[in-house]
Amino acid sequence: MNEIFEPKIVAFVCTYCTYAGADLAGTSRLKYAPNVRIVRLPCTGRISPMFILKALQKGADGVLISGCHPGDCHFTHGNYHARRRWMVFRALLEFTGIPSERVKYSWISAAEGGKFADLMNSITEDIRKLGPFDQYNALIKETEAPATF
């Protein structure tokens, strides 16, 4: 049982900035933790809180949401709308006991390949320290179990 816990992390990113940043990290041969699965979307404005819930439902130990810096949005203000939404959703998750350490938000531009790689590494390490999301996993397990009564 000495196996190191490898967290599963889902990253929802916008195609114009963070995805391009991830691409840059790749073409620059930057090495980063392979624990992150990237889902590319047109804009952070398209990232519905439903996606976060879905990722958790499917057993993600952490979620990252990332897009263009304020002012840089390809659609001019998609990320401003997203920012408000996150602010509220983050508070809600915290209030219901889903720790904010597991759901992170960032701005990463197309030029920030280094920031992308560093963030993937630090998030992976942070969540590795937190361990699996046992409380949520128990709920998921319950859905697979036969009725008890």
Partner 1 sequence: MTIQETYKARVKKLLASGTVKMVIGYKPGTTADRRRPHFIRTPEEADQLVLDSACITNLSGYLLSEGLLSDEKAVAIFLKPDGIRSINILAAEAQLNSEQILILGFDSNDNQVTALEGEKVEEFTTLIESIKEQAPEALKNPLLEQIEGMTPKERFAFWQGEFSRCIKCYACRQACPMCYCRRCIVDCNQPQWVNTSSHTLGNFEWNIVRAFHLSGRCVGCGNCDRACPVNIPLRLINAKMAQEVLGAFDHFSGMSHTQEPVLASFKKDDSETFIL
Partner 2 sequence: MTRILQSDKLDNCVARWREAGLTVIGPVKNESSSSYAAVEKAAEFDFSLIMPDRSIKELFFPQTEPMLHYTIKKQRIDTSDFTPPPEKRIIFGARPCDASGLAIDDPLFGWDYKDNFWFQRRDTTVIVTIACTKADDFCMCTSLKLAPDSTKGSDVLLRPLQNNKGWQVEELTDRGRDAFNEIADLLQDGSGPAAPTAVVAEKFNLDACVAWLQNPENFESTFWREISMRCIGCASCTFLCPTCHCFDFQDEGDTYSGIRRKNWDSCSFALFTMHTSGHNPRATQSARWRQRIMHKFNYFPGKFNVNSCSGCGRCSRQCPVDMGITETLQAISTLPS
CB of 96 to partner 1, least distance (A): 5
Pick what 110 binds: partner 2, partner 1, none; C-beta below 5 to 8 Å, kind-dependent.
Answer: none
Which residues lie closer than 8 Å to 46 by C-beta, 6 or more apart?
14, 78
Pick what 140 binds: partner 2, partner 1, none; C-beta below 5 to 8 Å, kind-dependent.
Answer: partner 1
How many C-beta atoms surround the C-beta of residue 4 within 10 A? 5
Figure out which of the listed residues 68, 98, 117, 127 binds partner 1, where binding follows CB under 8 A: 98
**How many chain residues bind partner 1 (CB under 8 A)?**
40
Pick what 149 binds: partner 2, partner 1, none; C-beta below 5 to 8 Å, kind-dependent.
Answer: partner 2
How many C-beta atoms surround the C-beta of residue 46 within 10 A? 15
Pick what 54 binds: partner 2, partner 1, none; C-beta below 5 to 8 Å, kind-dependent.
Answer: partner 1
Binding residues for partner 2 restricted to 88-147, rule: CB under 8 A: 143-147
CB of 146 to partner 2, least distance (A): 5
Q: Closer CB to partner 1, residue 104 or residue 128?
A: 104
Distance CA 137, CA 5 (A): 15
Cα 113–Cα 100–Cα 68 angle in degrees, nearest 5 = 30
Distance CA 51, CA 10 (A): 10
Interface residues with partner 1 (CB under 8 A) are 48-50, 53-54, 57, 70-71, 77, 80-81, 83-100, 104-107, 119, 135-136, 139-140, 142-143
